Structure 1
């Protein structure tokens, strides 16, 4: 046998062996190749926040406040006089929310509901008591940092400031809401 014929026989034998091992082959209907998966629908920040507790810990690590740290936040456009009144506690608080004993997930829901509920023509200043984290297992102010991050991301919140010592000090916040 010539070398060419030997290669063809081996090739035919290899082909037969391959067909037997693979089995019946069926031709694909479509000749189009999908190069990438379709992009997922974008979700709002609120949806991502609610669905991914891991996001809370990432944000917490980036902007962590200590339990006894005085905090303040204000959006652009809030008058200095209003900010001064907020920091001094020279305000009339219309409602108060205490987060002690709640899990992070439950506290987040309560904060969002509380802010949405108090968005009214008669309610402008509210207070949230989050605690200093001294009773937590790792002494980390989990609820305080969660509260700060939720309030910063909520559109109805114009400003917040640590409360006076008589109202809870660094374990509570005065919050200024938008006018309705």
Structure 2
């Protein structure tokens, strides 16, 4: 029997492309090219919702992307030693800055998300985020010495490890004294591919 040479309709192709628009190839996985033979349509037609690959051994189950490991100050997985040292020493050019002083927690979180997304989209690599160090005072909520750990100083590293920011961030580290010390972070963003 001759192979079926019927082509998919434009609507089917458009739906299939739309369904696979956000799919990214997993690193380290190579795809073996198969023959250009198209699968036989089911009796119900060739609409995209009825389309099922007929290749044996092809896994079509959708799975969530693997969870990236959490980052901590100064940890640099996937970054070469020289770049990691340059980031920690403040020797990388700061291409954008976000000062979160005076922001409430919710608005600071939204501002951080917008800032990192915009910086990455515009091709920036190293950015500075100023969180502040906290308040000074007396009472049970203050540490010995009269200082309280700032809410943003504590939460920004946590937010960097949550979606969607974790997928954008390669590494982060406390800034040098000249750029804000422990009240600021250098953040190295991944390049868009």
TM-score range, shorter chain: 0.5 to 0.7
Give the length in aligned residue pairs.
Answer: 111
Are 2:164 and 1:163 equivalent residues in the alignment? no
Secondary structure (helix, strand or coil) at the match of 1:119 reads helix
Deviation at 1:108, TM superposition (A): 0.5
- Partners of 1:75 and 1:82 in 2: CA distance: 9
- Partners of 1:117 and 1:135 in 2: CA distance: 34
Secondary structure (helix, strand or coil) at the match of 1:127 reads strand
Deviation at 1:76, TM superposition (A): 2.6
Point out the more displaced range, 170-179 or 114-123. Answer: 114-123
Secondary structure (helix, strand or coil) at the match of 1:84 reads helix
Question: What's the TM-score once normalised by structure 1's chain length?
Answer: 0.57
- Partners of 1:168 and 1:116 in 2: CA distance: 23
Secondary structure (helix, strand or coil) at the match of 2:82 reads helix
State the 4+ residue runs in structure 1 displaced beyond 6 angstroms.
Answer: none
Question: What's the TM-score once normalised by structure 2's chain length?
Answer: 0.53
Could you tell me which runs of 5 or more consecutive residues in structure 2 were left unpaired when the two chains were aligned.
Answer: 1-63, 65-71, 142-147
Which structure has more relative contact order (CA 8 Å, sep 6+)? It is 1
2:102 alignment counterpart: 101
Per-residue Cα deviation, 1:120-157 (whole angstroms, up to 9, x for no partner): 36310000000001258942311011111011222101
Could you tell me which runs of 5 or more consecutive residues in structure 1 were left unpaired when the two chains were aligned.
Answer: 1-43, 45-70
Q: Check 1:101–1:178 CA distance in 2 against 1; reply closer, same or farther (3 A cut).
A: same
Secondary structure (helix, strand or coil) at the match of 1:159 reads strand
Deviation at 1:106, TM superposition (A): 0.6
- Partners of 2:111 and 2:104 in 1: CA distance: 10
- Partners of 1:92 and 1:107 in 2: CA distance: 24
1:175 alignment counterpart: 187
Are 2:130 and 1:129 equivalent residues in the alignment? yes
1:80 alignment counterpart: 81
Residues 110-121 of structure 1: pairs in structure 2 closer than 5 A: 110-120=111-121
- Partners of 2:93 and 2:137 in 1: CA distance: 31
Are 2:149 and 1:140 equivalent residues in the alignment? yes
Q: Check 1:135–1:128 CA distance in 2 against 1; reply closer, same or farther (3 A cut).
A: farther
CA RMSD in angstroms comes to 2.1
